[in-house]
A = this chain, B = another copy of it.
């Protein structure tokens, strides 16, 4: 496969960025992981900005696909809403990693414009999906569903962030339970 090096770089960069951010991405470590030299990465991604944008784009593409298949597998939109926090939980389960969007949101001031663009699209994809599911579950009118969707997305990102800072999965679960008890998420 002619694109296997490129794919391997993308996969390794995604994993690293979820733990160390865009700033934590570095060509030498990445290259070592893939089995080539640091300078060779520039053949596939001319600059770090290009790599970052490609990683962020792939990240939201994968998420969009996962969300769509979740919707396809569950006829009940309420069930989808209940499972949504599991996506963010999985990142914590996998080496206390976090959502790439959240990390890059923090790094906003240091991000090339092309990367910022893809980061925004990740949020848009999640909010649009949540909004659609909220409407389908008749949990929010079509005018309010987007606002509620944004609130859910932001709150879950915050829960993941706090849980990560303690390396505490149980804290994440407790926060999601609190959101449900408070009425932000459906029980």
Interface flags for A23-58 (1: CB within 8 Å of B; 0: not) read 110000000000000000000000000000000000
Q: How many angstroms from the CA of A104 to the CA of B165 in the assembled complex?
A: 8
**How far apart are A169's CB and chain B's nearest CB, in angstroms?**
14
Interface size class of A (residues with CB under 8 A): 35 or more
The answer to whether A109 touches B123 (Cβ under 8 A) is: no
B contact residues around A161 at 8 Å (CB) = 102, 105-106, 154, 157-158, 161
Main secondary structure of the interface of A (DSSP, over half): helix
B contact residues around A132 at 8 Å (CB) = none
Stoichiometry, copies per complex: 2
Task: Using A106-B21, A182-B183, A184-B182 as known contacts, say yes or no to A153 and B157 having CB atoms under 8 A apart.
Answer: no
Interface flags for A154-176 (1: CB within 8 Å of B; 0: not) read 11111101101111000100110
The answer to whether B154 touches A108 (Cβ under 8 A) is: no
Binding site for B on A (CB under 8 A): 19-21, 23-24, 96, 98, 101-110, 116, 119-120, 123, 144, 147-148, 150-151, 153-159, 161-162, 164-167, 171, 174-175, 177-179, 181-184
